[in-house]
Amino acid sequence: MKNICFCFLMHVPMQLRRYRFFEIGQDHYYYDDMATEEHLAHLVSVSYMPLLRALQEMIRLSKGKFHCGLAVTGTSLELMEQYNPELIDIIKELVSSRCLELVAMPYAYSLAAQHSETDFEAQLVKHADKLNYLFGVRSTTLFNTELLYSDEIAQLTYRLGYKTILAEGAQHILSYKSPNYVYRSIAAPKQSVLLRNMDLSDSLAFHFSDTGWPDYPTDANKFISRLQSLPEEENLINIWMGADAFGIYQNAATGIFEFLKALPYYALENGIGFLTPSEAARKSKPSDIVSCPYPMTWAGDSKGLSLFEGNDLQQEALQKLFAVAERVHLCQDQSLKTDWLLLQDANYLHHMNHQDRGESPFESAYDAFINYMNILSDFLQLVEEQYPTTIDNEELNALLKTINNQEKEILKLQTEIKALKKKK
Amino acid sequence: MNALMFGWEFPPHILGGLGTASYGLTRGMSQQADMHISFVLPRPWGDEDQSFLRIIGANSVSVPGRGCIEFSGRYPDNLLEEIGNYEAVASVLARQLDFDIIHSHDWLTYPAGVTAKYLSGKPLVIHVHATDFDRSRGQVNPTVYNIERRGMDLADHIICVSELTRRTVIEKYGQHPDKVSTVHNAVEPLPHPEEFTKHPRKDKLVTFLGRITMQKGPEYFVEAAARVLEKTDGVRFVMAGSGDMMTKMIDLAAKRGIADKFHFPGFMRGKEVQELLADSDVYIMPSVSEPFGISPLEAMQVGCPTIISHQSGCAEILTHAIKIDYWDIDAMADAIYAIVKYPGIYRSLSEMGREEVNNIKWADAGIKVRQIYDKVLRR
């Protein structure tokens, strides 16, 4: 029996405000709240809300047979709590129906997995705590930023307790393996690796309304028969995409929501089921091993990191940002820590790409870089004020440890004194 | 294909961008095997490169009843008289020479082109390197406008050096859009680019180079410099060139209290220019209105990161240059600051800019001009 595993990603980056160099050291607020709020409101009204409503309806009409996954970054959850709490409520309902799985992510939309192991780990914990706090769930299935995956990341995440990891089905990297099986990682043989079916996912996300596309027009019936025509033993079809594919890339007028709502009926009619990512990993035995020595993502044509760190601008920004990772970890200042997470957003790096700038509000890659670097310079100055770079990381660590231990020591001695006093 | 071209300037004796563009374009066109160009100049000096075209001196053409006429070949006070004399020479050449098409470069030569067209019956293409709207920031000289307008009205086709200029020609000179095409300028490759290297120095160098006139927006550069220096040290600013706003700019720099970091080395030519560019960390051209602007391309050739205004034609074809509005001093200062402070953007602009500009070739512009000739002749 074939199964479809849907997973939708929700992430809303904070819009950066125009930040000129003469503000460095003067103004420490980097965001254009109005633009962020507007962007979020638009996303919610034309995409997120209609999608979540559609999922609710699909679950109800299929009598709970429709299952799927949802990935939401921690920073976006915070925004939703603040501006659109109704989204949180509806996700809560979906989660309690047990038909929707909230999968794990790094807290920010960050490439930390590639640049700072400790930070990546901290973000995973923070995100898990957030999901637990809001929805009372924890997941051992990981949807990394941009589906970033490599042998190294597999090993690391397995060690951190993630039993399943989602990755791009970039066949040219995975020596033309079919994405329609469950795999094991060569670096962490006990971890299941699910691969996105690129063709089918993209044919919905990007080509649903493309009249030049060979499958146009796509309807639910046709789509299901396409799945049925796949070889018998290929029994898991992973269809993952940004949630904004529904309502933004494909606006409501294209009929994408009706298409989605019609899917469970046709699928179940033809003996095709639905699974959440964790169920998908549990249900089928891993068939083969995948090896991915270099980072793989779902971005661009190269499916690597070139969209985010391919040029000098991106390299400099990344290098300067992650150079202070350890220092930020040592510090206690909450607003600094929040900025640290927000500034890691991979979208800001994407805006610095010359060929493909994504949804950049800036007029060129250079403009995006200048603005980001000015902000980063201010941020780095704040970090420096906390812990001057004249002290190196190890020394600092040792000092902090002594300070922390001192407190503990004092506490211990105090209790001892109390105990002794009592004895007297 | 024989083209009869009317020009005013040609290297090595040039006063502005017109001569450089005339040379580059004709040289690029001469790479087409069947292209023969006769280039009329008011006063050749004899040391022009004639290996790929024939240069005809207007001052050595005998005009019936007047003999050979003297030309200054510059932009003298009796410019209109010189334009008229040039037209008289054109009427002689139109009868003497054998050609298929007439091509006039800039307004000084439009009357000559029009006369040649009427006497020979051959089509006329005019090449707009600038309009009076660019030169005067809107204070158009009616005599010049009328000469330009008449040339455009009577031409069979109009070539503009940028979309910006094309729009001016359509909107301000009332030309039909179908009759107006854009052929962007290019830049001659440097014979020995390795000759020009950057010398290590303590301070970063930000350079403005060109005529210090209203059109080039020098005051915005001074203001941006002041903003940068408010925040940071180790940056020096250079305003090379001369012009009617120079003393005003010196005063302004002093008023802003940055005269110790703001330098005026005066007019530069030839190799000096490239040497200064190669030595600079930033080249900036904040022109208020620049039909094309070849100098940013020259800066990029020697690997100098470049900031240009959106109001410059060359902005249309450059990716690896920073573009700002000429009036936006904050953006300008921000761009300068970024280039001198963040090595990634310096490297990117320098390396990718050089590569980009090396692929902008006059031969390609030449092909586009040829296509226009073919189209005009077919009609």
Task: Report pLDDT digits (tens) over A76-111.
Answer: 999 999 999 999 999 999 999 999 999 999 999 999
**Strand pairing report for A182-185 and A192-196:** antiparallel
Residue with tokens 């006497």: B119
Q: Do B338 and A316 touch (CB under 8 A)?
A: no
Beta-carbon separation of A312 and B345 below 8 A:
yes
Q: By mean pLDDT, which of A46-60, A392-406, B36-50 is the weakest? A: A392-406
Tell me the pLDDT tens digit for each residue of B143-191: 999 999 999 999 999 999 999 999 999 999 999 999 999 999 999 888 8
Q: Do B345 and A311 touch (CB under 8 A)?
A: no
- Interface check B330 vs A, CB under 8 A: yes
Fold assignment, B193-358: Rossmann fold (3.40.50)
Question: How confident is the model at residue B139, as a pLDDT?
Answer: 85
Residue A260 lies in a domain: yes
| B230 → closest Cβ in A22, A369, A373 | A22
Vertex B50 angle, CA B47 and B51, to 5°:
130
pTM over 0.80: yes
As given in the structure block, the two tokens for residue B71 are 């030309």
| Cβ–Cβ contact B188 with A under 8 A | no
Tell me which chain B residue has its CA closest to the CA of residue A370.
B338
Distance CA A186, CA B186 (A): 54
Mean pLDDT value across residues B231-246 = 93
Shortest CA gap B282–chain A (Å): 14
Is B334 within 8 Å of A313 when comparing Cβ atoms? no
The yes or no reply on domain B2-186+361-378 and CATH 3.40.50.2000 is: yes
Name the segment(s) of chain B with CATH classification 3.40.50.2000: 2-186+361-378, 193-358
pLDDT digits (tens, 9 = 90+) for B73-98: 888 888 999 999 999 999 999 999 99
Q: Look at chain B and count its residues.
A: 379
- Please state whether the peptide bond connecting residue B142 to the residue before it is cis, i.e. omega within 30 degrees of 0: no
User: Would you state the pLDDT for residue A401?
Assistant: 77
Is A260's pLDDT higher than 70?
A: yes
Half-sphere exposure of A215 (CA within 13 A, CB side): 19
The whole-number pLDDT of residue B379 equals 67
**Which structure tokens are listed for A239?**
């269809």
Report the gap between the CA of A68 and the closest CA in chain B (Å).
43
pLDDT tens-digit profile of B218-233? 999 999 999 999 999 9
Q: How far apart are CA A160 and CA A118, in angstroms?
A: 11
d(CA A90, CA A135): 11
- Structural domain boundaries enclosing A264: 3-290
Cβ–Cβ under 8 Å, residues B116 and B126: no
In chain B, pLDDT over 90 holds for what percent of residues?
A: 83
Rg (CA), chain B: 21
> Which residues are within 8 A (CB) of A157 and not within 5 positions of it... i.e. 6 or more apart?
A124, A142, A144, A165, A188, A191
> What does each C-alpha distance from A314 to A233, A252, A293 come to in angstroms?
43, 35, 22
- Contact across the interface for A315 and B344, Cβ inside 8 Å: yes
Contact call for A312 and B333, based on CB within 8 A:
no
Residues of chain A contacting residue B344, judged by C-beta atoms under 8 Å apart? 312-317, 369
Choosing among B233, B345, B349, which should be mutated to test the A contact, i.e. which has the most A CBs within 10 A?
Answer: B345
Query: Which residue of B323, B330, B334 is in closest CB contact with A364?
Result: B323
pLDDT in tens, A314-333: 999 999 999 999 889 888 88
Query: Which residues, in sequence order, are CB contacts of B35 under 8 Å at separation 6+?
Result: B1, B3, B29, B366, B370
CB of A24 less than 8 A from some CB of B? yes
CB-based contact, A213 to chain B, within 8 Å: no
Q: Cβ–Cβ of A20/B323 closer than 8 Å?
A: no
A312 touches chain B (CB under 8 A): yes
Is A370–B338 a contact, with Cβ atoms under 8 angstroms apart? Answer: yes
Q: Considering only CA atoms, which of A293, A295, A223, A289 is closest in space to residue A259?
A: A223
Q: How far apart are CA A164 and CA A286, in angstroms?
A: 11
Q: Which residue of A has its CA nearest to B343?
A: A316
Task: Give chain A's domain count.
Answer: 1
Contact state of A21 with B333 under an 8 Å Cβ cutoff: yes
**Chain A residue closest in CA terms to B337:** A21
Report if residue A114 sits inside a domain: yes
The per-residue pLDDT of chain A, averaged, comes to: 93
Instruction: Give the separation between CA A256 and CA A268, rounded to whole angstroms.
Output: 19
CB-based contact, B319 to chain A, within 8 Å: yes
Nearest-by-CA chain B residue for A317: B344
Q: Is the CB of B348 less than 8 angstroms away from the CB of A366?
A: yes
Phi-psi region of A275 (alpha: psi -120 to 50; beta: other; left: phi over 0): beta
Q: Number of CB pairs < 8 Å for A and B?
A: 63
Q: Is residue A64 part of a domain?
A: yes
- Give me the long-range contacts of A353-357 (CB less than 8 A, separation at least 24): A353/A307, A353/A308, A353/A310, A353/A311, A353/A314, A354/A311, A354/B319, A354/B320, A354/B352, A356/A300, A356/A307
Q: The sheet that has A164-168: what strands, in order across it?
A: A141-142, A164-168, A192-196, A182-185, A288-290
A405 domain-assigned: no
- Who among A22, A312, A354 is closest to B227 (CB)? A22
- Residue A389's Cα: distance from chain center in Å? 31
Q: How far apart are CA B246 and CA B226, in angstroms?
A: 17
d(CA A414, CA A401): 20
The model's pLDDT over B100-110, given as tens digits with 9 standing for 90+, comes to: 999 999 999 99
Does some domain include residue A399?
no
- CATH label of the domain that carries residue A128: 3.20.110.20
Decide: A43 and A79 in contact? Cβ < 8 Å: no
Identify the bridge partners of residue B160 per DSSP, sorted by sequence position: B128, B182
Residues of chain A contacting B230 with CB distance shorter than 8 Å: 22
As a whole number of angstroms, the distance between CA B148 and CA B95 comes to: 24
**Average pLDDT rounded to a whole number, residues A174-178:** 83
* B235 has a chain A CB within 8 A of its CB: no
d(CA B241, CA B211): 5
Which runs of E-coded beta strand occur in A109-204?
141-142, 164-168, 182-185, 192-196
| Cβ–Cβ contact B335 with A under 8 A | yes
Q: Distance (Å, rounded) from C-alpha B346 to C-alpha B354?
A: 12
H-helix or E-strand containing B62?
strand B62-63
Cross-chain residue pair B344–A363, CB shorter than 8 Å: no
Q: Is B344 on the interface with A (CB under 8 A)?
A: yes
Q: What angle do CA B39, B45, B51 make, to 5 degrees?
A: 50
* B309 three-class SS: strand
Residue of B nearest to A372 (CA): B338
Residue B151 pLDDT: 96
Query: Please, what is the Cα angle at A101 between A244 and A76, to 5 degrees?
Result: 45
